[in-house]
Amino acid sequence: MYHKLNVGIALMISLILILSIASLYKKLDLENSKAETVWYEYQGVELLAILENTLVVEEEDEISQTITEDLPDYTKMYPDLYTVYQMPKQMDLGKKIAYLTFDDGPSDNTFDILDILQEKDVPATFFILGSAITDEGEACLRRMANEGHTIGIHTYSHMCNEIYCSIERYLDDFNTVYQQIYEITGRRVSIYRFPWGSNNGYSKEIKEALMDEMERRGFICYDWNVSANDSVGKPTAYSILHNIEKDLEQHNYPIILMHDSVINDLTARVLPDIIEMIREKGYEFDTLDHREPYQFPW
């Protein structure tokens, strides 16, 4: 700032000097050509512009300093809760790519799901619940990391009255599972999914500020555009497969929501058929962090 002030003063002195010399020159030589007078005026105007710009930059610096000071207190919480999200390159528009996603795991079904994915050579994405991580669950997470799947965060508790009552409480919950996954796998998670999606009724009051804060820390939110509806009502193998099939082809890059919880063993059982059906329709598979971010447009 002092440096800029000095530059400003130096410019002002130069301007005064040039203008004085110009007027002196004019007095001494009244026959001075009009072109030369214009040149001196031009120099003066240019210097004034530079001086003005310097002062504007200085003012902007002060404004951004004030904004930094005014950031809410929750921005100072959990100084380790930062990550780097690598924005995917432009997706190859000639391809159709499906993204299988499993929420709420790990569970008793995770090993089966991982076995099927391995057998079919399909990468997938798991949005993990910290509270569901048992000793076996830790082994599941290590397998996910080692077998080319992507791990995302789905909160620690999944309890709406705990995670959505304030940004501070959400960060507290999120930080717990973020640190768990880092300790187990050595990976820093960069994607997350809200329980009930980003437009759920519980988080309305804080949603916008919360997503801004998460993005400021490097985390990107992903919803889905195809749902297996395997965690509502009484799903059957047919309903799970049909729910995916009916919406799949509306999208070249479908994000398929399924669940990996103890009550969803049917999903694991029907998974080979789901993969075959999607392949037959000409889709390849990839992990969600390779797809451009998607949040519900409503």
Q: Kindly list the residues in this chain that would bind Zn ion in the complex (CB under 5 A).
A: 103-104, 195
Rounded least distance, CB 158 to Zn ion, Å: 6
What are 246's two structure tokens?
């009916």
Rounded least distance, CB 245 to Zn ion, Å: 22
- Yes or no: say if 129 and 155 are a contact pair by the CB < 8 Å rule: yes
Our CB check for Zn ion shows the closer of 156 and 285 to be 156
Our CB check for Zn ion shows the closer of 82 and 196 to be 196
Closest CB to Zn ion: residue number? 103
Rounded least distance, CB 232 to Zn ion, Å: 11
Our CB check for Zn ion shows the closer of 102 and 253 to be 102
Q: Dihedral through CA 101, CA 102, CA 103, CA 106, nearest 10?
A: -140
Rounded least distance, CB 129 to Zn ion, Å: 7
Our CB check for Zn ion shows the closer of 103 and 289 to be 103
Our CB check for Zn ion shows the closer of 149 and 158 to be 158
DSSP class per residue in 129-186? -GGG--HHHHHHHHHHHHTT-EEEE--SS--HHHHSS-HHHHHHHHHHHHHHHHHHHS
Rounded least distance, CB 227 to Zn ion, Å: 12
